Amino acid sequence: MSINSAMLAGVSGLRANSAALASISQNIANVNTVGYKRSQADFSTVVNTQSVYTGYSAGGVTSVARHNISQTGQLQSTTSSTDLGIAGQGFFVVTQKAEGLTPTDARLFTRAGSFKVDEFGYLKNTAGLYLQGWPVDDNGVITTDPSDLNRLSTINVGSVGGTAEATSRAQLNANLKSSQTISPEARDAALAVPGPNAYSPATNSMAMYDPDNGVGVKPDFEVTIPISDSKGGQRTVAISFLKSTTPNQWYAEMRAVPADSVQTGAGLTNGQIKTGLVAFTQDGRLDTAAMAALGANALFADPANAILTFGASDSTPAAGAVSWAGGLGIDDQTIAFDLTNAAGGLTQYDSASVVQAVQTNGTNFGSLTEVQIDENGFVTAIFDNGVTRQIAQVAIATFPSPDSLSQVNGNAYRVSQQSGTYNLKTAGTGGAGVLGSSQLEASTVDLSSEFTGLITTQRAYSASSKIITTADEMLAELISIKR
């Protein structure tokens, strides 16, 4: 009977508008949920098959929930460097546990990037989901894979301890006064038969100089260079210069300060590291040709390749070599000295002997102070000694049909048959979008639209109830025909 179909159509209207109310309620409740995507109820008609001459039968209405997952919200600034937002269509890959992941453990996807460092150093968002990424291997290389979730691991910043970087390069910018008065010890050394006080790197050296005891030779000029060892300890290398009687030549000694910080092989004493001559051209620059001609007598036969090598503490130095002192327990070290820099280097001009600049790399021990994530997803640890170290790269997943993902608790999603399979990408490539550090994606809920929808849904529900009331009255009239 048509009246019965009208009543059933009214019931379907009540059911459909109840679903719409539930969807609106969910949206309003999550107006401040980070990365939340609004949902809505889409209505469609239901048409019954009609038979000729039997009257019209109302089918009613049905509702289907539609999740606008691909709709992006505005990125809003925060004060936490581990808060992340995606400006694009990608999703963070997350898991429900941090360690012991197996291929059967669920991998979820979310836009909720409110990550914080938990008590074990893992990046976890407010829903308790852990951020996944490609880790840095032992060689400092990140290997990405677009299709294998098992290559990902939970990003952990707590495993990054303090760090130190040994000095491997030193640049010297200094001048030696060309008119420096030649010392008596240097004059004695130039005699055919050296005088009793003659300078000698083996028996009467600058490294032996002690004014209190009246031994050794006072340098005409000295430069000290701070260096860091393999443990971040601070060491000092001094270069002493004594002008020779040969024009444009200086005696030079490199030594450790204090002397007991190194152990030396035969031919070196009092902490000496290297000894020899330094030659200059007539226009005051280092004379590489002259030093090459000096060969083993030069401080460095090739000033452009001035390499200083320290053996490890547990090694015994050979003749003419040097190692760190055994009690220090530090690793071997090679330092390249830049003495021929075009903007300075080691020069000999007729002005005061002076150090213009000494620049070295390497740092002392530093503790982790901050974690930063750039727009390409690289997670970098920053230490208070200025050293930075990459930890991992955040993985971004994209889908052919993101609106078809299945929703799960925690404002996250799961792959469905309709969504298509995932593609793992690095941020900024293939439509994945770039990452915004210290930013969070706001909910896509618009309260004005939701409250308007609330009014229309309420009225539609009321109207559907009127259909049932009217049909009921009509049936009552029909029943009352025979009394």
pLDDT tens-place string over residues 395-422: 999 999 999 999 999 999 999 999 999 9
Based on the domain organization, do 190 and 200 belong to the same domain? yes
Based on the domain organization, do 424 and 448 belong to the same domain? no
Instruction: With beta carbons less than 8 A apart as the criterion, state whether 232 and 363 touch.
Output: yes
Instruction: With beta carbons less than 8 A apart as the criterion, state whether 461 and 18 touch.
Output: yes
Backbone angles phi, psi at 438, to 5 degrees: 60, 40
Based on the domain organization, do 235 and 361 belong to the same domain? yes
pLDDT tens-place string over residues 418-462: 999 999 999 988 888 899 999 999 999 999 999 999 999 999 999
Give the domain range for residue 41.
Answer: 2-68+444-479
Based on the domain organization, do 342 and 201 belong to the same domain? yes
Torsion over CA: 134, 137, 142, 143 (sign): negative
- Lowest pLDDT segment from 130-139, 142-151, 194-203, 385-394: 385-394
Based on the domain organization, do 216 and 346 belong to the same domain? yes
Q: Cα(106)–Cα(96) distance, rounded to whole angstroms?
A: 7
Q: Cα(135)–Cα(144) distance, rounded to whole angstroms?
A: 9
Based on the domain organization, do 101 and 46 belong to the same domain? no
Task: Specify the higher pLDDT residue, 209 or 144.
Answer: 209
The pLDDT-based confidence of 142 (bands split at 50, 70, 90) is: confident
pLDDT at 162: 63
pLDDT at 178: 95
Based on the domain organization, do 180 and 311 belong to the same domain? yes
The pLDDT-based confidence of 343 (bands split at 50, 70, 90) is: low
468 Cβ partners below 8 Å, 6+ apart? 7, 10, 11, 14
Based on the domain organization, do 128 and 242 belong to the same domain? no
Residue 195 is encoded by which pair of tokens? 């005088």
Based on the domain organization, do 285 and 236 belong to the same domain? yes
Domain at 235, CATH number? 2.60.98.20
- Residue where the block lists tokens 């001094």: 238
pLDDT at 66: 87
Based on the domain organization, do 156 and 168 belong to the same domain? no
Among 366, 388, 403, the domain boundary falls at: 366
pLDDT at 266: 93
- Lowest pLDDT segment from 25-34, 150-159, 222-231: 150-159
**Helix %, strand %, coil % for the chain, to 5?**
20, 35, 45
Among 366, 382, 402, the domain boundary falls at: 366
Instruction: With beta carbons less than 8 A apart as the criterion, state whether 317 and 311 touch.
Output: yes
pLDDT at 182: 96
pLDDT at 477: 86
Based on the domain organization, do 406 and 384 belong to the same domain? yes
Number of domains into which the chain is organized:
3
pLDDT at 51: 65
Based on the domain organization, do 378 and 436 belong to the same domain? yes
Tell me the range of 5-9, 160-164, 233-237, 339-343 where mean pLDDT is highest: 233-237
pLDDT at 52: 64
* Residue 241, pLDDT above cutoff 90: yes
